[in-house]
Amino acid sequence: MKDKIKLGYIGVGRRGTWVLRECFSQMKDVEVIYISDLVPERMEQAKRTVIENSGVTPKLVADYHEILADPQVDGVIVMTGWSGRPQIAMEVMRAGKYVGIEVGCADNLQECYDLVKVSEETGVPCMMLENCCYGRRELLVMNMVKQGLFGEVVHCAGAYGHYLNDVELFKDIETETPPHYRLPLYIAKNRENYPTHEFGPISKLLGINRGNRIVSLSSFASKSRSLNQYAKDHLENPKWAEVEYAQGDIVTTVMTCANGETVVLTLDTTAPRPFYSRSYTVRGTKGMSFEDAKVIYLDGMEHKIRNNEEEFYEKYDHPLYVEYRQMESRGGHGGIDWLVCRAFVESVKNETQPPIDVYDAAAWLAIGPLSEASIQQGGAPQAFPDFTNGKWENREPVVRCKYCLDEICEDKNTPIY
């Protein structure tokens, strides 16, 4: 086991900078020794942050291949824009270094196959840094499900319910160029473009790639109207109201699983909505969780209950979250960034497979291109690739350290920071 690891960091836009500042640069067992970005000013700013937080002075490189060539580097974090991440991840693995990639979806299915192939050929792990797998609610429900309180899970649903028009898509569009990297994708593509925040935790809960797998996917997009309406009502430049956006306002995706569960995902980012929600929903034969009514219900409880989650947190908070709460709050977003980054760091230190592995990454990334194909084909079900090539049937749940997401781990040794 390594006491300390050295990381390279590719991509210090808004999200990359946040995670670097709040998480990796604050960890006593991590040294960020490289930063790479296309924008020199961003690199300079990120460098100052790393020095301030850790005392380490990272080297700034315009070409990230320099990071891959340095044998000192144990792992690389890829926080670039949506497109191209899998390609960089493959290069990192070929260089023999652990890779952690920010959430998103693939441009095409081939990237997903390639990601698995490269990881299998090199034996190097790839982890998607899906922070919502470590959400307090998601961990609570996993804890309760693993204890049998929900009975047999039959159905899950989730959403990326986040009204992005002003906070991302058109943010500062009158004054800044280029626009947010998501906007060109909303113009070019119609798909479930951001499935992992809600599907990551569901996938782990259902044991996808470990005893279960997704069998088929169907997607349906509403017409695209809300971006034009927003631009018309809120932006000065008339151009944005006239653009033809490919992305439907609401995209509904339904997946079926080998073990008989159904999963419904909703992409909901452009039509007005009042609050952020992952609409995390788990339905079992004995209990349910439903984020939008903030309710947990177990069979036999009195009816008409809402807003009762707090009592369950008190009783069934996931052990990992209990420990996190005892720390000073770190990493922002209620701990999800800190915990997912720690999971990556522990895997690198222990040279083990991360709790979210390359098969998870491939399956989650594949939702984008598969949903695009289904929408184009009028909702025709797409056969979901088995990236494990049959291994899913016998792959055991991982119980290794407290960051594991397959089972509740009793590990008392893994430090939380």
Query: How near is the Cβ of 152 to a second copy at its closest, in Å?
Result: 5
Non-local (6+) Cβ contacts of 59 within 8 A are 33, 34, 35, 66
Say if strands 59-61 and 30-36 run parallel, antiparallel, or are unpaired: parallel
CB closer to a second copy out of 58 and 248:
248
E strands of 285-355, at which residues? 287-290, 295-298
Q: Is 131 in the site for a second copy (CB under 8 A)?
A: no
Please report how close the Cβ of residue 161 comes to a second copy at its closest, in angstroms. Answer: 10
What is the distance between the alpha carbons of residues 143 and 283, in angstroms, rounded to a whole number? 14
Site string for a second copy, 263-282 (x = CB under 8 A): -x---x--xxxxx-------
166 to 205, contacts with a second copy by CB under 8 A? none
**213 is written with which tokens?**
């797998």
Smallest gap from Cβ 154 to a second copy, in A, equals 4
Taking the complex as a whole, the smallest distance from the CB of residue 397 to a second copy amounts, in Å, to 20
Q: How far is the CB of 337 from a second copy (least distance, A)?
A: 21
Q: Which helix (H) or strand (E) holds 366?
A: helix 358-376
Query: Among 74, 249, 346, 360, which residue sits at the site for a second copy (rule: CB under 8 A)?
Result: 249
Closest C-alpha to 92, from 81, 104, 78, 82: 78
Q: Does 244 bind a second copy (CB under 8 A)?
A: no
What phi and psi values does residue 267 have, to the nearest 5 degrees?
A: -95, 125
Evaluate whether 319 touches 408 at the Cβ level (below 8 Å). yes
Residue 159 or 173 having the CB closest to a second copy: 159
Q: How far is the CB of 301 from a second copy (least distance, A)?
A: 7
Q: CB of residue 217 vs a second copy: minimum separation in angstroms?
A: 9
Burial class (CB in 10 A: 0-12, 13-18, 19+), 117: middle
Nearest 5°: the CA angle 303, 305, 307 is 170
Nearer Cβ to a second copy, position 95 or 221? Answer: 221
Q: How far apart are CA 259 and CA 186, in angstroms?
A: 34
Summarize the chain as % helix, strand, coil (round to 5): 40, 20, 40
Torsion sign over Cα 131, 132, 137, 138: negative
Contact between 368 and a second copy (CB under 8 A)? no
148 touches a second copy by CB under 8 A: no
Measure the CA–CA gap between 44 and 22, rounded to whole angstroms.
17
Binders of a second copy: how many residues, by CB under 8 A? 56
Nearest to a second copy of 35, 156 (CB atom)? 156
Any contact of residue 258 with a second copy (CB under 8 A)? no
**At its nearest, how many Å lie between a second copy and the CB of residue 306?**
7
By the rule CB under 8 A, 333 interacts with a second copy: no
Binding mask 282-311 for a second copy (x = CB under 8 A): -xxxxxx-x-xx-x-xxx-x-xxxx-----
Torsions phi, psi of 342, nearest 5?
-65, -40
Strand partners, 78: 10, 101
Binding mask 199-228 for a second copy (x = CB under 8 A): -----------------x-x-xxxx-xx-x
**C-alpha distances in Å from residue 370, one per residue of 131, 220, 381:** 23, 11, 9
CB closer to a second copy out of 95 and 227: 227
Residues contributing to the site for a second copy (CB under 8 A): 151-152, 154-155, 163, 216, 218, 220-223, 225-226, 228-230, 233, 248-250, 252, 254, 256, 259-262, 264, 268, 271-275, 283-288, 290, 292-293, 295, 297-299, 301, 303-306, 378-381
